[in-house]
């Protein structure tokens, strides 16, 4: 642990950086089982926000697991460290004034709480993809459930590794009964209601 680091006082605040773009920084944290629709909905919301003129950034397994977290696996310990790093990166992007969308299974409530605690009240929006396991498994977009059932993948969330459902998510979406457009619509409505965006 480095002890001699002196934090410089930033002259430009995060609010000032964000005000250049007429937006409020925040983090939308998508959590849910594999195949529940996190990437699909986060990407669709990303497009919708871009079309409205907002500056966003999307973090997901593809751009994080191959770089920042490529040294980490899927043990409980590595999952905790994975989420810690993603939380810190999300915070830096929010400090830069951006609307951040992060899509990770993030199965442990304590990890999600750790990320929530990095953000001011109201700027961490937990979006729980509450899609039933049966639907996720039937979709199996990456063939991972099949492999997990056959024991080829161990510690797979929902099969032989737990998922702790959020008790008080800001937004709950079940993509077995809601279309992609309907999910995006409800997220936009929520963001307008919370005055994170205006249009």
Report the interface residues with ligand ADP, using CB under 6 A: 32, 34-41, 103, 129, 139, 141, 175, 178-180, 183
How big is the chain, counted in residues? 199
**Least distance CB 180 / ligand ADP (angstroms):** 5
**Least distance CB 153 / ligand ADP (angstroms):** 14
**Least distance CB 183 / ligand ADP (angstroms):** 6
Instruction: Find where tokens 């032989």 sit.
Output: 160
**Least distance CB 75 / ligand ADP (angstroms):** 20
Residues in a beta bridge with 99? 26, 56
Is 173 in a helix, a strand, or coil?
strand
Instruction: Find where tokens 């304590």 sit.
Output: 110
Alpha helices in the chain (DSSP H): 14-20, 38-51, 61-65, 76-95, 109-116, 133-139, 144-149, 180-193
Angle between helices 38-51 and 180-193 (to 10 degrees): 60
Indicate the burial class of 153 (C-beta count within 10 angstroms; 0-12, 13-18, 19 or more): middle
Catalytic position from the list 34, 106, 161, 186: 106
| β-bridge pairing 124-129 and 26-32 | parallel
167 is catalytic: no
Q: Using the minimum distance from each CB to ligand ADP, give the nearer residue, 97 or 158.
A: 158
Q: Which residues are catalytic?
A: 106
């Amino acid at each position: 642990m480095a002890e001699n680091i002196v934090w410089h006082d930033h002259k430009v605040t995060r609010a000032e950086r964000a005000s250049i773009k007429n937006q409020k920084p925040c983090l939308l944290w998508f959590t849910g089982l594999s195949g529940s629709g996190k990437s699909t909905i986060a990407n669709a919301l990303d497009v919708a926000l871009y079309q409205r003129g907002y500056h966003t950034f999307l973090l997901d397994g593809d751009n994080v697991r191959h770089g920042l977290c490529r040294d980490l696996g899927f043990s409980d310990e590595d999952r905790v460290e994975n989420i810690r790093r993603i939380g810190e990166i999300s915070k830096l992007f929010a400090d830069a004034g951006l609307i951040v969308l992060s899509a990770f299974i993030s199965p442990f409530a304590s990890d999600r709480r750790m990320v929530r605690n990095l953000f001011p009240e109201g700027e961490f929006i937990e979006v729980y993809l509450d899609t039933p396991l049966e639907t996720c498994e039937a979709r199996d977009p990456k063939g991972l459930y099949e492999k997990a059932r056959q024991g080829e993948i161990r510690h797979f969330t929902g099969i032989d590794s737990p998922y702790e459902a959020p008790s008080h998510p800001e937004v709950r979406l079940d993509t077995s009964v809601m279309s992609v457009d309907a999910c995006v619509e409800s997220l936009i409505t929520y963001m307008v209601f919370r005055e994170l965006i205006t249009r």
